[in-house]
Structure 1
Amino acid sequence: MRIEESTLAGVVTLVPTPFHDERGLFTRTFDAQIFDDWAGVPGAAAAFLQDSQSRSGRGVIRGMHGRGGRGEAKLVRCANGAVHDVLVDARPSSPTFGRQESFLLDDDDFRHLYVPPGLLHGFQALTEVADVCYRIDRPHDPTEDLGVAYDDPDLRIHWPLPAGVVSARDRSAGSWAQLVRQLR
């Protein structure tokens, strides 16, 4: 497993090395020691305490979501299918504040995306079925939910497919400009 830096401060992808043979493949999808070495904090991987999974159909967009307060770190991977995953840096003190980056997460290379606290996260399913797994470092507190519309004109997020199903919550999310005022 190797770790690749992103253009967003503190964001990395963890890329496993699948072993292929006549039976199929085997891969280690997470290695706490490698994560701890990258973080420079023994036991950093142990902070992840909740696993969740979503299943979405082609074109579905989930996002853009984040957490207020002390935020929420997460590891995200696509266990089945493929997604176009997007992060927006919503940390006012970050050198990459307001910037975004997208990632292809799929069941071919099994890469994980490490999302540090303070970033907005969303994705669009690219395949008929996409299962996304989240490993989260704190319990969900709905009173800290943050959201920005997936189609916010200031962010101009590129979604590769026409928008499919979008939840009522995501359709009614606020704007990037509103969130910036709230955060500052």
Structure 2
Amino acid sequence: MRIEQTGLADVLVLAPQPFHDDRGLFTRTFDAEIFDEYLGAPGTAASFVQDSQSRSALGVIRGMHGRSGRGEAKLVRCAHGAVHDVLVDIRPASPTFGRQQGFLLDDNDFRHLYVPPGFLHGFQALTPTADVCYRIDRPHDPHEDLAVAYDDPELAVGWPLPVSVVSARDAAAGSWRELLTRLR
């Protein structure tokens, strides 16, 4: 597994190195020892406590979601299909505060993201079905949910496909401006 830095402070791409043969392929999608060594923080990988998975149809957007309080760290990967994954830095003290970056996550190269606490996260399914797996470092607490509308004009996320379905919760999410006021 190779680890790469991104254009957002502290966000990492974990790039497995699949082995292909006449049977198909094998890949190690995560290696705690390599991850902890890269971060210089032994035991960080062991702090992940919950795994979740979503399945979405073509064009579905899930996001933009975050957590208040201590936030949450997560590992995100697309186990089946492909998604356009977007992160927005909402840490006021960060050198990349307010910046966003999109990533292609798919079942071809198995890349996934390490997202530290303090980011909005969302994605759009690019294939007829897309399964996204999340590993988070603390149990979900709905009282700490943050959300910004996926189509907020100030946030201006460039979704690659027309939107097919969005949850009622995501459609009713607040604005980027409201979140900025809350964070300051």
TM tier, smaller = over 0.9
- The residue aligned with 1:81 is 81
Amino acid at match of 1:113: L
Q: Distance in 1 between matches of 2:81 and 2:73?
A: 23
- The residue aligned with 1:179 is 179
Structure 1 gaps of 5+ residues are none
How far apart are 1:170 and its partner, in Å? 0.3
- Corresponding position: 1:140 with 2:140: yes
Q: Distance in 2 between matches of 1:97 and 1:158?
A: 18
TM-score where L is the length of structure 1: 0.99
Q: Distance in 1 between matches of 2:42 and 2:99?
A: 30
Identity of aligned residues (%): 76
Tell me the SS of whatever aligns to 1:132: strand
How far apart are 1:112 and its partner, in Å? 1.2
The more displaced of 37-46 and 53-62 is 37-46
- The residue aligned with 2:91 is 91
Amino acid at match of 1:23: R
Amino acid at match of 2:16: P
How far apart are 1:94 and its partner, in Å? 0.6
- Superposed, 1:1-150 pairs within 5 Å as 1-150=1-150
How far apart are 1:54 and its partner, in Å? 0.1
- The residue aligned with 1:170 is 170
Tell me the SS of whatever aligns to 2:33: helix
The more displaced of 74-83 and 37-46 is 37-46
- The residue aligned with 2:151 is 151
How far apart are 1:155 and its partner, in Å? 1.0
Tell me the SS of whatever aligns to 1:182: helix
Q: Distance in 2 between matches of 1:35 and 1:153?
A: 36
Q: Distance in 2 between matches of 1:103 and 1:135?
A: 18
How far apart are 1:159 and its partner, in Å? 0.3
How far apart are 1:164 and its partner, in Å? 1.1
Output one character per residue of 1:48-91: Cα deviation in whole Å (capped at 9) or x when no partner: 01000000000000000000000000000000000000000011
Structure 1 runs, 4 residues or longer, greater than 4 Å off = none
Q: Distance in 1 between matches of 2:58 and 2:182?
A: 33
Q: Distance in 2 between matches of 1:12 and 1:166?
A: 27
Count of residues paired in the alignment:
184
How far apart are 1:38 and its partner, in Å? 1.4
Amino acid at match of 1:27: T
Amino acid at match of 2:117: P
How much is the aligned-residue C-alpha RMSD, in angstroms?
A: 0.4
Amino acid at match of 1:98: G
Output one character per residue of 1:123-153: Cα deviation in whole Å (capped at 9) or x when no partner: 0000000000000000000000000000010
How far apart are 1:28 and its partner, in Å? 0.2
Amino acid at match of 1:65: H
Q: Distance in 2 between matches of 1:38 and 1:135?
A: 18
